[in-house]
Amino acid sequence: MSIKFYSLIFASLFFFACADESPTSIVQENISEKEEQQKEEDCRYGTSRYSDSWCCTNYGYQCNTAKSSSSSYYNYYYSSSSKKYSSSSYTYYYYSSSSKKASSSSAAYYLTKSKNMKLTLTYFKQVTPDWDNVLGLGNYADADPNISFDIEFIDTYGIKTTKKTDVMLKKQDTGLWSGRVDYTTTVPVNTETIRIYPKITDADVLASDDYSSKYWYITYDVGYIKNNNVQYQSDYENKNCIIEWEWYLY
C-alpha cells in the first residue's frame, strides 16, 4: 500500500480518538468555568450581586466588610464545583466539611449523639424585575416574598428525618431585606448528611408564584463539624433572587 493510504488511516484513527469528548460538553464546561471566574472577579472587586459574607465564605474576598467577622469563616469552604448530578425536578449539590482533613482519626463522620441545629435566614434580594407583572416597568422592589426551608437529616442507614420550617420571612413590595430570623430543631443521632432546600413564593391574591430554585444544598460528614461552628450558605443558583442563611450545631 502507498504511504498516502497509511497516512489517511492514521489521520482517521486520530480524529475518532479525539472525538470522545463532544464539542457540546466542552462548550458547556467552558461556560461554567467562565461563570465561576466571573463570580470570583465580582467578589474580588466588590461588584458582586451577592453579599459580602457570601463572597467571604466562597472566595475569601470582602471579609473585612462581611456581616459577621467570625473566625470560623474559613473552616468550611463550599464550591459549586462539588455539584454531582441533577434530576428532572431538583439539582443536588454535595458538600463535605473541609475540617475532616484536620480532624483526629478518632472522630466520627456522623453524629454519635443528637444535637440541636439553629438555622437563621439573613438576606433576601430580588434580582429580576416585575414579580407582580404590572405593566412591565422594570420594578425591582415589587416582590412579596414568603421564604421557608425544608431540612432533611439522613443517617448512616439511609433513614431520612424531614423538618419543615414555618414561613420565616413574609413581606410585601420588598426588593431587599437583611436581618435575622431563627429556626431551631433537633438533629437525630447517627446523622451523617444534612440537606437544605430553600423555598420562596411571591404571594398573590389569587395564586402564589413559585420562585424557588429547586436546588438541594447538601452537607456530608456532619460529624466532623464542631459545635457552634457557623456554616454560611446561599441559594446562589436561583436566577430570580438571592437568599442567604447560616446554621450551626450545638
For every one of its 250 residues, what pLDDT tens digit does the chain have, with 9 covering 90 and above? 554 444 545 555 544 444 455 554 454 555 567 778 888 878 877 777 777 777 887 888 877 655 333 333 223 333 333 443 344 344 555 554 443 333 344 579 999 999 999 999 999 999 999 998 777 789 999 999 999 999 999 999 999 999 999 999 999 999 999 999 999 999 999 999 999 999 999 998 777 899 999 999 999 999 999 999 999 999 999 999 999 999 999 9
Residue from 28, 22, 4, 123 nearest 68 by CA: 123
CA distances from 116 to 22, 44, 191 (A): 47, 35, 12
Q: Using H for helix, E for strand and C for coil, what is the string for 54-109?
A: HHHHHHCCCHHHCCCCCHHHHCCCCCHHHEEEECCCCEEEEEECHHHHHCCCCCCC
Cβ proximity of 236 and 49 under 8 Å: no
Query: Which cell goes with 209?
Result: 408564584
Has this prediction a pTM greater than 0.85?
A: no
| pLDDT on residue 31 | 56
CATH superfamily, region 80-249: C2 domain (2.60.40.150)
**Contact predicate 141/176, CB 8 Å:** yes
